[in-house]
Structure 1
Amino acid sequence: MILDGQATTLKRMTYSEMNESDLRVLAVSSGKGGVGKTNIVANLAYALSKRGKKVLVVDADLGLNNIDILLGLVSKKHIGHVLSGELNVEDIILHGPEGIHVLPAGDGLQELTQLETEKKMMLMDELDRVSRGYDFLIFDTGAGISANVTFFCSAAHETLLIATTEPTSLTDVYALMKILHNNHSQKKFRLIVNSVASEREAQGVYRNLTAVTDRFLSGVSVEYMGYILYDPNVPKAIRQQKAFLEIYPFSKFSGCINELAEKISKEKPKSGEGNQPYFWRSAFQAK
């Protein structure tokens, strides 16, 4: 029985069987909303799929539909039906552009915003079961620093953080890193800077962040992953509910996404702290 406040360590499903397919589990988060995180996830998944990778995107902003709407996908089935035992994960998977698979979060379901430990375990067991057929499993987390957000970040092999040039974006990314480090012993992060005018501007954001983390978060490392140039056509693609790369494949924005996808697709799962050989693992306080 799990008691309130009890420190619980979850380590399930050794990674030995999955190493054969080199499954990589990525969590994409931001701390702050409105920085283009879900749009990046959708287009990164699209670019990875174009490279022949099998991708499952999990809308981990539970209780709010995001990525399925962004890609023009419609379904009345969602993660809530899996957690209630009504359906299996396979029953709710949506098929998106370029063969992307999407697991919808469900809309307006407040009970999903604060999942109990048992429900999280149930969901992860289901994802464990279906993940063997994929090269990438991507969690598109919600904004903020809720228990759901930190759970999905700590359950992944890698956490990709999305920031912009806005000071509030940087402070919120730092706050998320601090919680993941202090409460979940996470030490490695990767940064993507979105909606910039130049790479120089993106590197300035990276330097500002690492100046703070180097001073206040001992042992934490932040890898500069890349940048995405501002494009005025992004809102148009969102309104059309299509992947930006599908409509504007030769834009600078698409070029940046493709560079990221190329880099990620050629990497192997990393080892070490923050990337342990388990499909999911999390040490957290049960609330």
Structure 2
Amino acid sequence: MMGFKRRKIMIDNMIHDQASGLRRLAQPSLTKVISVTGGKGGVGKSNVALGLAICIARQDRKVMVLDADLGLANIDVMLGIRPKRNLGHVLTGKCALKDAIVEGPYGIRIIPATSGTRSMTELSYAQHAGLIRAFSSLEEDMDVMLIDTAAGISDMVISFSRAAQDVIVVVCDEPTSITDAYALIKLLSKDHHVQRFKVVANMVRSYREGRELFAKLTFVAERFLNVTLELVACIPLDDKVRQSVKKQKIVVDAFPRSPAALAISSLANKILTWPAPKTPSGHLEFFLERLLNNQAGMGESFGE
């Protein structure tokens, strides 16, 4: 049984250590953190995230991809990689985060998640703290970190989106995709004060269709929410994407001159021009905020 004073000292020390690590990680001059999300599954988030990673890495930038679909990982599968360790091993203390990182095409660094593990989608506050410690100790020198979130509007999707400096919302021309994207934007803006979103119209038949899709989303979002949406790319419907998936490659690598690959490459060039925030708003310090707001709950995890 742990005394109250001892437990409080442990929590205070942990918060201090995490705060220091998060301040290092949140320096915008070091790493630009971009969340690629969408609300609905099947809109092509992972293809977009990995395509951007490869295109940015080709320009001599150091890129890391975090597979944040903690229960249904697919980044490693899409690349034909079989990692021996993943975030599940990190959280259970079986390895350090640096030992779970694997190398993908063009030197991109990949943090793989687990697949088919329900517990990874329902992390406790103590496990969130463990995840922070892992990232705080990471010494990888990265220019860009891309977070490929899970589908839906779960707590983890919201958390990782809040962690980013820029949120890319991938949407396709389906009513459910538009509805789910709006729900995600609404939740992030109303409950978590995220006001700016960059939109990718994916799998569209023409640039005009992409603009019309963006107009549909903008109509409801800007009418009822205090947000600003920016259309940053229209990625065409391209059979080469499907062919690439079968080859366990990304379209920008397998078919670099295909319409979809060229659109993703153009977006990657835009990303490199996006200015980094001058203050560390957003980023991973939201974990610390969460930790501070739930010290009592975390204290219980240590036991009385």
What secondary structure does 2:98 align onto? helix
Alpha-carbon offset, residue 129 of structure 1: 2.9
CA distance in 2 between counterparts of 1:58 and 1:234 reads 21
**SS class of match (2:275):** coil
- Kindly provide the amino acid, as one letter, of the partner of residue 219 in structure 2: A
Deviation string for 1:33-72 (max 9, x for gaps)? 0111111111111101011111111110002221111011
Which one of the candidate residues 221, 234, 239 is aligned to 1:227? 234
Q: What TM-score, normalized by structure 1, do the two folds share? A: 0.89
Equivalenced residue count is: 277
Q: Does 1:157 align with 2:162?
A: no
What SS does structure 1 have at the residue aligned with 2:135? helix
Q: Is the 8 A contact 2:28 2:277 kept in 1?
A: no
Q: CA deviation at 1:124?
A: 2.7
Determine whether 1:280 maps to 2:285: yes
What stretches of structure 1 move > 3 A for 4+ residues in a row? 15-20, 277-280, 282-287
Higher helix proportion (structure 1 or 2): 2
**Aligned CA distance change for structure 1 residues 160 and 59 (closer, same or farther; 3 Å):** same
- Contact residue 37 and residue 162 of structure 1 kept, 8 A: yes
Post-superposition offset of 1:14: 2.3
TM-score (norm 2): 0.84
Q: Is the 8 A contact 1:15 1:278 kept in 2?
A: no
Q: Residues 235 and 277 from structure 1, CA distance in 2 versus in 1: closer, same or farther, beyond 3 angstroms? A: closer
Counterparts of residues 174-253 of structure 1 (less than 5 Å): 174-217=182-225, 219-253=226-260
Instruction: Evaluate the alpha carbon distance shift between residue 231 and residue 40 of structure 1 in structure 2; reply closer, same or farther with a 3 A threshold.
Output: same
Contact 1:18 1:132 in 2 (8 A): no
Alpha carbons of 1:268 and 1:129: their partners in 2 closer, same or farther (altered >3 Å)? farther
The amino acid across from 2:168 in the alignment is: L
- In structure 2, the partner of 1:8 is none
Q: Which residues of 2 match residues 8-23 of structure 1 at below 5 A?
A: 12=19, 13-14=22-23, 18-21=27-30, 23=31
Letter in 2 for 1:153: S
Structure with the higher fraction of residues in strand conformation: 1
Is residue 17 of structure 2 the alignment partner of residue 48 of structure 1?
Answer: no
Once residues 151 and 20 of structure 1 are traced to their aligned partners in structure 2, the CA distance between those partners, rounded to angstroms, is 22
The 3-state SS of whatever aligns with 1:134 is coil
RMSD, aligned α-carbons: 2.4
The corresponding residue for 1:255 is: 262
Cα distance in structure 2, aligned partners of 1:184 and 1:192: 22
Structure 2: distance between partners of 1:131 and 1:109? 28
> Contact 1:271/1:277 (CA < 8 Å) preserved in 2?
no
Please say which structure displays the higher CA radius of gyration.
Answer: 2
Task: Report the AA paired with residue 256 of structure 2.
Answer: P
Where does residue 77 of structure 1 map in the other structure?
Answer: 85
Q: Which runs of 5+ in 2 are unaligned?
A: 1-6, 8-17, 298-304
